[in-house]
Amino acid sequence: MNILRKVDGTISAWPDYPDAMRGGGFVFTSGVRGGKPDCTAMSFEDVPGEFRAAQQGYKLVDALEGDTTADAWRAHRDLERILANAGTQGSQILRQRMWQRDKRFFPVLERVRKGWQPEAAPSSGLGVKAVGGRFGNWYGIESIAVDIEDPSCLGARRVLTPAKHAAHPSSSIYSQMVASGPFVFLAGHIPIRTAEPGKPVVATYEDVPEEGRSLATGRSHPDSRDGPIAAQSWFVYNEIRRALTSHSMSMQDIVHVRVYLSDPRDLATFHRVHEHFFGRNPPALSIVGFDEVGHKGCRIEIEPTALQPDTLPRSDIEWSCPAPYSGPAATAVGPLLFLAGMLGLGPGGEVVTSSDTIPEAARSLVRSLESETSEACVPAQIWWTWQRISETCGRAGVRLDAITKTMVYLRHEADLKAYEAIRAMFMPSHHPAFDCILVPNPGPVETAAVQLDVAALTAP
């Protein structure tokens, strides 16, 4: 039996939530930020000497890089503190996501991270419009790590594909693929041909082989519109397939996929490619719209989690409403339940626009929150999101207090007040690890104002 244990403290960006949750042999951290409590600018003087290598010695020149360097350093320092309090360490991180207010300063983040994490974990680095939470300024980080002190731990982290790999070099310093027991965590893959000189971006159908051109029409106008996302999606999934094949796995071993889009208008074309690769056994799927994904004009980033074949049992949990896209509402694997991206979907599977479809017992509270949110539809969508989570967990035989981590995507941080009021209706006494990410498109379509990414234990 897995037991959820809170790692309490005051380090994370969200004081009402624990710094981390331990359970199932894993540590799920809440989001951390790197700024000062008073939000004042920082400088190279705020970091240890070994992290000042980029300092040039001129006040004006060093001002911006000093501030971003200190922010990145503090975020990684606090992440290490949380992991240490949870009985683990940075070398056991299985996946790390990094929210960046301005990806122009990614080189700064990379320099700092290399100092903290010489063998960095698989990562996704996304551009956001703002980094919310306490101390939020330039960067935010959240992660999952191996709980090496937990008796149910499936095994310490193993690096399967390092950053400097001849066939699959990463675009930064992070490992491409790591494992703990039978679970395999891949980095966010982007449509960059990293093994070629100049590392060119995939931009059109001409950049992929014939197999990747099934959606091409041969006419310039439609192919110029659908071609970039179709070619990029095919290229990324093909690279993921190659990476899995090199370790005796296949696409059918993927249990969950997170997809980050820079333009929600690309959803339908991406989805056609997605179904091509998975067919009748698709994984649970989350799709979120970010300000910037990858670099060099990337329109998509794909982050899979896989299971080595013939190891743990796997079962899919069907949607309690018409499915919004390919794949189950959740996949249960061993100690973990991976939920698809949960949206404010009404009884017919549509993204709700008002509180009219909410049961009468909850309707008055939801309606009372409509005047306090950025859009009147936000409270109703939050309620239906939690309703879908509750129904999905119920179908999986999992209680809501078995949830280990919630990541909520919103457009405006002010909407968290309504989120908390509605969350408390469903889960009044349980606070899992938490992060809130502020993005222009919280869901795969523009009408979605909220999405939740949820992980839970199957047998707490």
Q: Using one digit for the tens of pLDDT, what is the confidence trace for 117-162?
A: 998 999 999 999 899 999 999 999 999 999 999 999 999 999 999 9
378, containing H or E segment = helix 378-395
pLDDT, tens digit, 9 for 90 and up, residues 11-38: 999 999 999 999 999 999 999 999 988 8
According to DSSP, the residues that pair with 90 across neighbouring strands are: none
Q: Which residues of 302-333 are buried (b: 16+ CB within 10 A; e: fewer)?
A: bbbbbbbeeebeeebbebbbebbbbbbbbbbb
* Per-residue pLDDT band at 449 (split at 50, 70, 90): very high
According to DSSP, the residues that pair with 6 across neighbouring strands are: 21
Last residue of a domain, one of 262, 279, 311: 311
Last residue of a domain, one of 276, 311, 346: 311
Average the pLDDT over 344-364 and give the result: 95
* Per-residue pLDDT band at 2 (split at 50, 70, 90): low
pLDDT at 280: 81
Average the pLDDT over 444-449 and give the result: 96
pLDDT at 222: 96
pLDDT at 342: 98
Pair (357, 265) in one structural domain: no
CATH, residue 43: 3.30.1330.40
pLDDT at 10: 84
Pair (121, 212) in one structural domain: no
Pair (125, 196) in one structural domain: no
Instruction: Say if residues 163 and 120 touch (Cβ distance below 8 Å).
Output: yes
Pair (292, 339) in one structural domain: no
Pair (150, 236) in one structural domain: no
Instruction: Say if residues 139 and 214 touch (Cβ distance below 8 Å).
Output: no
Pair (362, 452) in one structural domain: yes
Residue 323 inside a domain? The answer is no
Which residue reads 């149910």 in tokens?
A: 152
Pair (297, 344) in one structural domain: no
Average the pLDDT over 165-169 and give the result: 74
Question: Which is more confident, 165 or 186?
Answer: 186
Last residue of a domain, one of 156, 183, 207: 156
Average the pLDDT over 85-112 and give the result: 96
Q: Is the pLDDT of residue 39 over 90?
A: no
Pair (182, 290) in one structural domain: yes
Pair (10, 107) in one structural domain: yes
Residue 20 inside a domain? The answer is yes
Pair (133, 212) in one structural domain: no
Residue 446 inside a domain? The answer is yes
Instruction: Say if residues 25 and 152 touch (Cβ distance below 8 Å).
Output: yes
Pair (61, 110) in one structural domain: yes
Query: How far is Cα 321 from Cα 387, in angstroms, rounded to an integer?
Result: 11
Pair (377, 416) in one structural domain: yes
Residue 330 inside a domain? The answer is no
Q: How many domains does the chain have?
A: 3
Residue 318 inside a domain? The answer is no
pLDDT at 193: 93
Pairing assessment for the beta strands 139-146 and 93-100 based on DSSP bridges? antiparallel
Residue 45 inside a domain? The answer is yes
Residue 307 inside a domain? The answer is yes
pLDDT > 90 in the chain, percent: 91
Residue 342 inside a domain? The answer is yes
Query: How far is Cα 347 from Cα 440, in angstroms, rounded to an integer?
Result: 26
| All residues at 6 or more sequence positions from 384 whose CB lies less than 8 Å from its CB, including other chains | 343, 344, 345, 346, 352, 357, 358
pLDDT at 165: 77
The residue segments making up the domain with residue 278 are 165-311
Q: Is the pLDDT of residue 360 over 60?
A: yes
